[in-house]
Each structure stands twice: as structure tokens, then as C-alpha cells.
Amino acid sequence: MKTIQSILSFLLSTSLSFFSQANEQPRDVESLEALRAFIEVYEHIKGEYVEEIDDQTLLNHAISGMLTKLDPHSDYLRPRDVSSLRDSTTGSFGGIGIEMDVVDGLIRVITPIDDSPASRAGILAKDIITHVNNEIVRDVDVKTAIEILRGPIGSEVELNILRKVNGKAEELTISLERAVIRVTSVKQEILPHGIGYLRISQFQNRTGSDLVKAISKLQSQEQLKSLILDLRNNPGGVLSAAIEVVDAFISRGLIVTIKGRDEFLESKYEATDASVLSQEPIVILINGGSASASEIVAGALQDHERAVLIGTPSFGKGSVQTILALENDYALKLTTALYYTPSGRSIQAKGIQPTIQVSGGEAHVESDTQVRETDLPKHLENLGDSGITGDRIVSRLNQDNQLLHAYNLLRGSQLLTRSDGPRSLISP
């Protein structure tokens, strides 16, 4: 305690000596008074707070408080926070391999990841993890749950699981070994009539290249006539990945501008001619969970009239955070700039407005009373369709109102093109 206090006192006395030799300005005096107040508060907490607090903890709190008062995204990162951030950008980490959520403070499995320790051990969707290494799991948040389950590759972990079987709860104990878990940020699916569906869950280092591979897979399955790009609930991620995604759909023009406090910090990112889909109609799905890099993609393709946006207004995170390494594996995440779309729009606190606003939730499809071939007695069955079953896609569209609108828009565009020649999705 005395060491820290002496250091703070030295800093204060040095500052006083410096400013006494110069012409003191009002702002300088205010800064000195604030520093003096900080030292006084620090000494009171150390000497009089009901519980003893070590210097490191108190100083960490002070730094964190200083940053969190700036904006919601600036932060003081502990070593484990830095590690977690690195994992999220690379999409690779040591763990058991589950998608999960937290319900009433309990860890619930959404689904095990394919070919992961969890899937091989027989962990199932809706399993509740009650204990990890004999430690009870209760009243946790998502961040804490991740920290509990992740660990060094090759380390052993024992899970106690509560599973409902035939209406009865069963307790299981499963031991497994953590392994490298690679999360693919891009998933693809081909819908009827040559409409491709791409879902980007987060922008990672490999997202741009994964997107190109996903489009290639769609093209190999069927002639790709149009595309739905789903960015709903995508929190963002790596800036370069967002730029690569936009670049895949346009062959020229500005993608995004980043402006800092000083003019020399302004950066502009332009498209190259390496687009993989330059003509096919695109619909992008966004909602209030689409943030940061998602908004860069949506805003750029909207400004270039390359895509129609369907859904609800995006989150509105238009700020840039820079990670600055500090001593002892700590880091400073500091907001340093703002994003601007090609037309000069600031995303910050405004978000991206969809071209067509459609609420989420279940779609309400009117019943069709017309008699069709399938209603006739002894009709011939369709035996030639080896793609997605009609029942599955109809069920999915009926459950997702925004996806249904995107599908209908692209399907309608195909019909118009076939009858009247090429026609844009966007009215002039």
C-alpha cells in the first residue's frame, strides 16, 4: 500500500512542480485537482473500506471505470479476455464443442458441434450441464459459462448432465478431453428454384475465403440464380472479413471509410475486380442484432444498389475499436474511429434501415383453396426431386417471416425476368 501511495504522491508532486514552472492554464489546474482527488479517494478506500482490497484489484477497477465511462465498447482487457477475443476472431479454440445458451443461470446445450468431443461423447440438445469437474454450475452468465467449459487442448473435463428421457430427468456423468474446436462462420444451403442461402454468424479471419467456398458449393449443386445473405444477429467481428465479403459481390467502388479524430487517420477501402457474384440478385436479411461489420456489409451493398435489405433496422454500432497491447498480457480496447458507408452515411447510433421493413417471427401464409394435381385421386408422385424436401422448406419458410419475404421477392424477380426480360429488384 505504501509503495502505491508513494508512487501516486510522487506523480502528483512532479505534476505540481512542472506546472508551477510554466504558465498554468485553467484546464491544467483542473487536471491537477482531479489527480489530487483521485489520490485522496484511493487512500480512503484502502484505509477505510469495509473489506480489504489489494492494490492491483483497486487499480484495475480504476482503469476499467475510466474506460467504461467513455463509451460502451472501450475496455480494459485481462489476459483471459484477450485470449477469448483472439479465439472469436480466429474461430478456433480449445473446448468441448457445443453451442449453448444460459437459461435461469443454467448451461443448456443447443446442439453439439459435429465431430467434436461433445458429439462423440453423446451430449445431446437440451442437456443441462449441472457440474463441471465436480463444481456446481449455478447463476452463471454466458461469458462465465464459456470460461468454465473452455480450456487447454488435451485437458480432461468431467461434466454432470441432467437429461429428460421419456418425461423423466436422468443424471449422467460424462468425461471427455478438450480439443481444437473450429467454428465455421459461413453456412450455405440451396433452396428451390436456384435460390442460394448463406448465413454468416460472425466475421472471423477466414470468413471472406469461407464465403467464396460456400458460393462455389452452391453453384456446384444447382445453377445459382439469386442469393439470400442472412446477417441477422451477427454481432460483427473482423473488419477485413467484412471488406472481403463486400468485394465478393461488387467489382468496383468504395466499400467503407474509416475516420478518426485526426485527418491522417482516415482510411478508404475500395473493391477489386475479383467479385464472384456480380450480377445475380441479392437479398440481405438484417435485424437489431446485426452490428458493426454486418452493418458495413449491408450498408455498402445497399449504397451500391447491389442488394435489397429486408428485416428491421440494424444495431447502429458504427465505431472502430483498436486493441493496444499492454504489459503482463493485458490490453486496451479503445474506440479510435467511426465507420461510414460509401455514400457517406454514419452507422453510429443510426444503424442501417432496411429497404423493406419486415418483422421477424412466424410467417402467416394464407391457405390455398384451389384444387391442384396433388389433390386428384391416383395422381402420379414426383420421384425425380433429390434436393430439399418440400415439407422441410415450407415448414422453414412458414416459421421465418423475413426469410419468406426474401424468398418470395427473389422468386418473383425470376418470374418477371422470364416473362419480361431482365429487371432490377430495386425500383428506379
Phi, psi dihedrals of residue 132, rounded to the nearest 5°: -125, 115
| Nearest-angstrom CA–CA distance, 45 and 39 | 10
CA atoms within 13 A on the CB side of 146: 14
Return the C-alpha cell found at 419. Answer: 416473362
Provide the 3-class DSSP secondary structure of residue 245.
helix
Buried b or exposed e, range 240-269, using 16+ CB within 10 angstroms? ebbbbbbbbbbeeebbbbbbeeeeeeeeeb
Residues 6+ apart with CB under 8 A from 260: 266, 320, 336, 337
Q: Which residue has the cell 474461430?
A: 91
Are 348 and 295 spatial neighbours (Cβ–Cβ below 8 Å)? no
| Nearest-angstrom CA–CA distance, 140 and 148 | 10
Residues 6+ apart with CB under 8 A from 169: 162, 163
Burial of 107 (0-12, 13-18, 19+ CB in 10 A): buried
Provide the 3-class DSSP secondary structure of residue 322.
strand
Using CA atoms, how far residue 346 sits from 172, 361, 384, 409, 416, in Å, is: 52, 29, 50, 28, 35
Catalytic residue IDs: 292, 303, 317
